[in-house]
Amino acid sequence: MVNDLSTNAKHRPKWTLFAALLLTVPAPFFMLVVGGIVPTFCIIYLAVHGLIVALAKFTAEGFWMLGILWTHVVILGGLLYVAAAGITWLLFRFLPYRYARAVVLGLIVALFVVSTFEIYRVPGHNSAPPANIFRIYKGFFT
């Protein structure tokens, strides 16, 4: 018989927190020069977009840049996953399930509230003006 605190119920907050970290936490983006400080999701978007472009053109320079992008994705994504797993493990180990879930929800809300302030730098040159989450995503998806 499966109880209310099954494995899936404990992993759902971890994956939700991980997705919120991917969408909001500012991460440095380095190419040949500093490309800005953007959420990791934007780097993932560039890596997938670059993969589509590099496969069609099949050039060495394209794959070199693609390697740099995917290195960012693996390292930054891995660090954010470890952070989400560690936070949820600690919370669910020491707090009752209901309170731990509320704390995770509070962390997610706090991440999105803080991301509305100008804590990011748009990709380009290092002198780019600060931006909030709305400007970053608007610039990537328009």
Give dist(CA 9, CA 97) in Å, integer: 9
CB atoms within 10 A of CB 79: 14
Q: Is residue 93 part of a domain?
A: yes
Q: Which pLDDT does position 134 carry in this prediction?
A: 87
Q: State both tokens at 103.
A: 């704390």
Q: Is residue 94 part of a domain?
A: yes
pTM of the model: 0.80
Query: Do residues 100 and 14 lie in contact, with contact meaning Cβ atoms separated by under 8 Å?
Result: no
Residue 23 lies in a domain: no
Here the tokens at position 33 are 């020069």
The pLDDT, as a whole number, for residue 110 is 95
Query: What pLDDT digit, counting tens, does each position of 23-33 carry?
Result: 998 887 766 55
Range of the domain at 110: 33-141
Structural domain includes residue 15: no
Average pLDDT over residues 87-96: 91
Please say whether the beta carbons of 109 and 23 come within 8 A. no
Q: What domain count does the chain have?
A: 1
Q: The dihedral of CA 58, 61, 65, 67: what is its sign?
A: positive
pLDDT tens per residue, range 3-56: 445 556 667 899 999 999 999 988 877 665 556 778 888 888 888 887 777 777
pLDDT bucket at 124, cuts 50 / 70 / 90: low
